[in-house]
């Protein structure tokens, strides 16, 4: 029959707890490193959809659909809005600026 003293038993339990914590930490780090890193894009107009603003609407976006025009990043609610913007960017930007400025007052 195997017998341990109380101090041996506590030592073994402490060691097992440390091992379990290390495994948990390793799992968290492994999962964290395997997740994609997404850089937050901050576009003009506080991330609102440029086409929405050009049409007089407020459409908040996460900027996952965006384009750089004239050195500035503009966000869109969807790919169709981005494609439409690229056909006449100056026209839509003017309309977006006018609407956006009017709601800032």
Q: Name 48's bridge partners.
A: 60
Task: Please give the pLDDT value at position 104.
Answer: 73
Average pLDDT for residues 34-50, to the nearest whole number? 74
H helix runs in the chain, sequence order: 6-34, 50-54, 79-87, 89-104
Higher pLDDT, residue 65 or 25: 65
pLDDT band (50, 70, 90) for residue 49: very high
Task: Please give the pLDDT value at position 64.
Answer: 95
pLDDT over 80 at 29, yes or no: no
């Amino acid at each position: 029959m195997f017998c341990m003293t109380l101090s041996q038993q506590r030592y073994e339990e402490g060691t097992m707890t440390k091992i379990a914590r290390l495994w948990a930490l390793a799992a968290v780090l492994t999962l964290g490193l395997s997740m994609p890193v997404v850089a937050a894009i901050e576009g003009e107009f506080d991330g609102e959809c440029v086409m929405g603003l050009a049409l007089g609407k407020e459409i908040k976006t996460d900027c996952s659909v965006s384009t750089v025009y004239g050195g500035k990043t503009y966000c869109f609610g969807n790919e169709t809005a981005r494609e439409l913007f690229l056909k006449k960017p100056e026209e839509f930007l003017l309309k977006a600026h006018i609407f956006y400025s009017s709601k800032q007052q």
